């Protein structure tokens, strides 16, 4: 079996490696040549491409083209460039993060051409190569069966960690909600450990506690594993800025909860806490200080 992957960043490159190790040939294309050269040097199973034409020429008909590009304009531009060069019966897969409504819109645009389209949410991060990825596919039953060998090769095992979850858009929707849950879990762990650290008289060893929680506790999880490993080497985190980025999925999940009228306060608050870490609460907090001085005469702390 041979597939094409366009986008060889951290996720795309390691997914390529995992597929090649499973016996699936991968034709790889990237917007810059460096990752293509790197994978080319690693050996058999990877076929390099340095242009869209060279990329598509190496894929047997009907082709499977898997996009692993940043959401928004990069993905939009790639679809516009590749779609006219695809043939009826080819399958285009968007395996990167995307807002599910954008996926549905793109599906409506692609359908009249006769090219098939699927969306696949992929979770696993930098550990996916070793441990396997969780893959959530959306699209028709026919297309789901067609890429099943790819999903199984990416997953931790052939019988788990992957699913064809529903029609077009459902893969990205499932991944969106997954990431919203992830935000909430991360926030709860961070707040709990901050409470332990703040209790100075107890002088609790956070590395010891998190390692203990990994075994038999109801809060044991991969996130806790990663946290315990980090705290084992550095509990003070003095070199780490208190700034937490967000890549979009948490915002989409919180907005979807509002649109559906579904209560999701933990996910929403976790999202707002990330905004606060980025300095977006600073002006409001300054106003609070001004109000407190106004009605109570309380001193303001200078910047």
List residues with catalytic annotation.
175, 182
Distances in Å between the Cα of 182 and the Cα atoms of 153, 159, 257, 267 are 24, 24, 15, 8
Dist CA 154 CA 5 (whole Å): 13
Single out the residue of 10, 52, 49 nearest to residue 26, CA to CA.
49
State the pairing for strand pair 116-123/134-138: antiparallel
SS3 category, 118: strand
Dist CA 157 CA 150 (whole Å): 12
CB 168 within 8 A of CB 139: yes
CB 183 within 8 A of CB 267: yes
* Helical ranges in 97-248 per DSSP H: 100-110, 128-131, 141-146, 148-154, 170-198, 206-213, 222-233
């Amino acid at each position: 079996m041979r597939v094409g992957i366009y986008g060889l960043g951290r996720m795309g490159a390691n997914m390529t490696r995992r597929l090649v190790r499973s016996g699936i040939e991968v034709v790889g294309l990237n917007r810059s040549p460096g990752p293509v050269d790197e994978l080319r040097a690693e050996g058999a199973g990877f076929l390099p491409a340095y242009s869209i034409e060279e990329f598509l020429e190496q894929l047997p008909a009907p082709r499977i083209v898997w996009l692993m590009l940043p959401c928004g304009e990069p993905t939009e531009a790639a679809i516009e460039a590749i779609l006219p060069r695809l043939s009826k019966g080819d399958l285009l897969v968007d395996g990167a993060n995307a807002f599910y409504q954008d996926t549905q819109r793109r599906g409506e645009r692609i359908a009249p051409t006769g090219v098939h389209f699927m969306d696949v949410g992929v979770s696993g991060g930098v550990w996916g190569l070793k441990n396997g990825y969780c893959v959530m596919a959306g699209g028709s039953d026919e297309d789901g069966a067609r890429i099943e060998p790819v999903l199984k090769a990416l997953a931790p095992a052939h019988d788990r960690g992957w699913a064809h979850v529903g029609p077009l858009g459902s893969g990205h929707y499932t991944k969106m909600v997954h990431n919203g849950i992830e935000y909430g879990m991360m926030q709860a762990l961070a707040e709990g450990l901050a409470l332990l650290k703040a209790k100075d008289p107890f002088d609790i060893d956070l590395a010891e506690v998190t390692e203990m929680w990994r075994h038999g506790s109801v809060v044991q999880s991969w996130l806790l594993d990663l946290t315990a490993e980090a705290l084992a080497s550095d509990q003070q985190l003095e070199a780490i800025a208190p700034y937490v980025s967000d890549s979009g999925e948490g915002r989409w999940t919180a907005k979807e909860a509002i649109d559906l009228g579904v209560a999701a306060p933990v996910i929403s608050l976790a999202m707002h806490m990330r905004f606060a870490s980025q300095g977006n609460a600073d002006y409001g907090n300054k106003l609070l200080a001004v109000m407190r001085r106004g009605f109570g005469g309380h001193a303001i702390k200078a910047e």
